[in-house]
Amino acid sequence: MLAVLSPGQGSQKPGFLTPWLDLTGAEARLRWWSALAGVDLVHLGTTAGAEEIQDTARTQPLLVAAALLAAEHLPMHDVTLTAGHSVGELGAAALAGVLPAETAITLAGVRGREMAAACAIEPTGMAAVLGGDTDEVLAALDRHGLHAANRNGAGQIVAAGSTTGIDALVAEPPTKARVVRLKVAGAFHTPYMAPAEAALAGVAAGITPARPARILLSNLDGTAVHHGRELVQRLVRQVTSPVRWDLCMRTLADLGVTGVVELPPAGTLAGLIKRELADSLPEIVTLKTPDDLPAARDLIARHGSAARPAPTARFRVVTAPAPGVFQPAQGLTEGQALKIGQVIGHVVTGRGPVEVTAHDGGPLTEWLAHHDAPVAPGQPLARIGGHS
């Protein structure tokens, strides 16, 4: 199985898009996307300095544009799975067919501007906590009033919150842990970003998403998302919710992913995978420049397969969001009317129960999986209504 991954903020470097502009049509595409994002993507990707591309309002659309620009030169029809880290989820959503590229770029522009504005409300920051016992690290964060904004696996948790809390954590690191203050504008993926989430929700409400054409993992809990509207809701919630990249990597292992292509600016996610999945390490290509395209195409040819239609393409069905054991909601029987968003059961995984919700309203026509049945991601669990 082949996965294509889209990196998030912090992976960018000055001039990383320069070689890509030599490809036919690349500069024109970036100028069109610049008009949608409200920033000069050509300048940011080529001649802008390190400080300028650390600006959240500029960086977020730049990263999404870079991933989508490179993916246009890959045989994406043979890719089975996509995922992205933080803002990289917008790129992954476009590559999975949920959003047009133009919509992903526009949302990245809104997201970046609104998160930058939220950062200016009060002094906040972030710091990487490297090593230490996970429970002890989380306890230390709680003691200082901080949030675990990113859980990246391989002994890396990113703390976020008030600058006073970050200062205290740096001064008093958890046992056997090292704390590195990050050069970011504020506390991303925490309640401090609530104004940005509200603003993004207002824009996202006007989007008409499509069903994913391939497996699409969510940062929220590492599970596969099979409905476009749910994915958009998760993208909005992710502004204030932790990035669980550790769970995404576990799902890559659970699904038996054997090949990974990381889109530009590549390297960060590949490094995390190498440390976290050392016992079942997939073959990885870090796509940094057009010179890496032949290797990426070869990897896709050897590990990929033609994208299969989502299992819900013919019927309105509810599918499993993760591998595990299915437990229907108590007392819910065939024939009962369901509401959109109603919890119809749980998939019990090694990481705990994951809710299964109805994505459409209508009668519960048929259970397609029974109590304590082992299920795989995307497996149909129940059919709603009688439409085909």
Give the residue numbers marked as catalytic. 86, 189
Nearest-angstrom CA–CA distance, 265 and 154: 21
Do the beta carbons of residue 123 and residue 40 sit within 8 Å?
no
DSSP letter for 325, please.
E
Nearest-angstrom CA–CA distance, 105 and 346: 34
Nearest-angstrom CA–CA distance, 139 and 71: 41
Q: What is the DSSP string of 336-386?
A: -EE-TT-EEEEEEETTEEEEEE-SS-EEEEEESS-TTEEE-TT-EEEEESS
Q: Which residue has the tokens 């998302």?
A: 225
Q: Measuring CA to CA, how many Å separate 292 from each of 68, 73, 100, 383?
A: 16, 11, 25, 44
| Strand partners for 318 | 382
Nearest-angstrom CA–CA distance, 291 and 319: 40
- C-alpha closest to that of 10 among 57, 44, 56: 56
Nearest-angstrom CA–CA distance, 217 and 349: 16
At 147 the three-state DSSP class reads: strand
Main-chain dihedrals φ then ψ at residue 275, nearest 5 degrees: -80, -40
| H or E stretch covering 183 | none
- C-alpha closest to that of 376 among 187, 202, 226: 226
Nearest-5° angle of CA 80, CA 355, CA 244?
60
At 315 the three-state DSSP class reads: coil
Tally Cβ neighbours within 10 Å of residue 190: 23
Taken in order 183, 62, 2, 315, the sign of the CA dihedral is positive
